[in-house]
Amino acid sequence: MTQIIGHKLQLQWFANAIAKERFSGSFLLVGPPGIGKATVAKTVAKALFCRNMTSDALKPCGHCECCVQVDADTHPDLIQVRKPDDRANIPLELLIGPPESRMQEGFCRDIRLRPFHGTRRIAILHDADFLNEEGANSLLKTLEEPPPGVILFLIGTNEQRQLPTIRSRCRIVRFMPPTGDDARELMLRRGITCDRDAAMNAIELCGGDCEAAASLLSGEANGFRMELAKQLTARPMPVVELIKNVTIYVEQAGKEAPQRRDRLRDVLAMATATFRDQLMQISDQPEHVDMAVYRIDRTIEAIGHVQRNANQASLIESWTTDVARGRA
């Protein structure tokens, strides 16, 4: 069983609720990418399905048939939905079935089926940030009145990215980025060897995004990051050279679109960190603050476009041109 790093308060709350048999309803787990929200949700699922867990601790055995099935994503009472890599949002048909068979297939229908084992079903909707309005609205009744014995987890990065109607129907559980030895351990699990200060600094620079932080600490990325920071802070900014270097670095991630998308997201996270550092250095120069703020906002906006599968070549060119200009 994978040991969860950090999140002791959240785990203790779930353990107490389960022990007191007061655990039910819908939960929205929010926090930066890669910090363990989905792992916590699956651990809760294992705890509820485990045949050997004691009632006073959130410690599933990890060895019984149910625990093994949860780890393998094959437990019949664990329902999960994710955004397909080739789609900008979670398709409506994954939630309520295709037009010709609405509510006869999909996430909401599967939730209402009788459990195969025991009395519980657990549903995890990953990538809740990518629910469009129609998809979110299709969930409202299920979230407000889940069937008896059903626990729903929605996993996102920020509660403000969810519709107010979603937030009001869920109990919000917030997760914070790891610090200290936890930060270093999380990087080690991702194959990055570094000290705790380097791990914490990278996570902070990436706004808590542990996936981006791990990429930032890799040897190849570190060299590129230094060159990127040099170009982004140059006066004037070398637009043509910057576009070329970013494009080459993104293409080196491989031929698959998801890999290139992740690489471009990492580039933009590095750029955000560079512009934040720049903003701190010029905080006593009001005439330049607006420019730095604009560059940060434009880069964060570009990250959103990456996640929505925007054309990468066009995005790199438009983003670079915009931040070089430094104003709307």
Cα–Cα distances (Å) from 307 to 28, 90, 98, 103, 243, in that order, read 20, 12, 24, 28, 20
The mean pLDDT value for 23-34 works out to 90
283 domain residue, yes or no? yes
The mean pLDDT value for 2-31 works out to 86
Output the pLDDT for position 110.
93
The mean pLDDT value for 268-285 works out to 83
In terms of residue numbers, what domain contains 141? 8-174
- Do residue 156 and residue 30 come from a single domain? yes
pLDDT higher than 60, residue 1:
no
CA nearest to 214, candidates 196, 230, 191: 191
State pLDDT tens for residues 84-136.
988 889 999 999 999 898 888 999 999 999 999 888 999 999 999 999 999 99
Domain termination residue (choose one: 174, 202, 237): 174
Output the pLDDT for position 57.
67
Count the domains in the chain. Answer: 2
pLDDT higher than 80, residue 284:
no
DSSP per-residue string spanning 106-151: SHHHHHTSPPSSTT-EEEEE--GGG--HHHHHHHHHHHHSPPTTEE
275 domain residue, yes or no? yes
Output the pLDDT for position 66.
93
204 domain residue, yes or no? no
Q: Do the Cβ atoms of 154 and 179 come closer than 8 Å?
A: no
- Do residue 124 and residue 16 come from a single domain? yes
Output the pLDDT for position 55.
59
CA nearest to 90, candidates 80, 100, 103, 99: 80
Sign of CA dihedral 275, 279, 282, 286: positive
The mean pLDDT value for 270-299 works out to 84
Q: Do the Cβ atoms of 39 and 178 come closer than 8 Å?
A: no
CA nearest to 273, candidates 303, 309, 315: 303
pLDDT higher than 80, residue 313:
yes
Output the pLDDT for position 137.
93
Confidence bin at 28 (pLDDT 50/70/90): very high
CA nearest to 171, candidates 156, 154, 157, 158: 154
- Do residue 36 and residue 131 come from a single domain? yes
- Do residue 272 and residue 139 come from a single domain? no
185 domain residue, yes or no? no
Average model confidence (pLDDT) across the chain: 88
The mean pLDDT value for 60-76 works out to 93
Cα–Cα distances (Å) from 96 to 25, 80, 81, in that order, read 20, 13, 12
Q: Domain with 151 in it: what CATH number? A: 3.40.50.300
CA nearest to 126, candidates 164, 90, 150: 90
State pLDDT tens for residues 225-245.
889 999 999 989 999 999 999
pLDDT higher than 90, residue 246:
yes
121 domain residue, yes or no? yes
The mean pLDDT value for 41-66 works out to 85
Q: Whole-angstrom Cα distance, residue 83 to residue 271?
A: 26
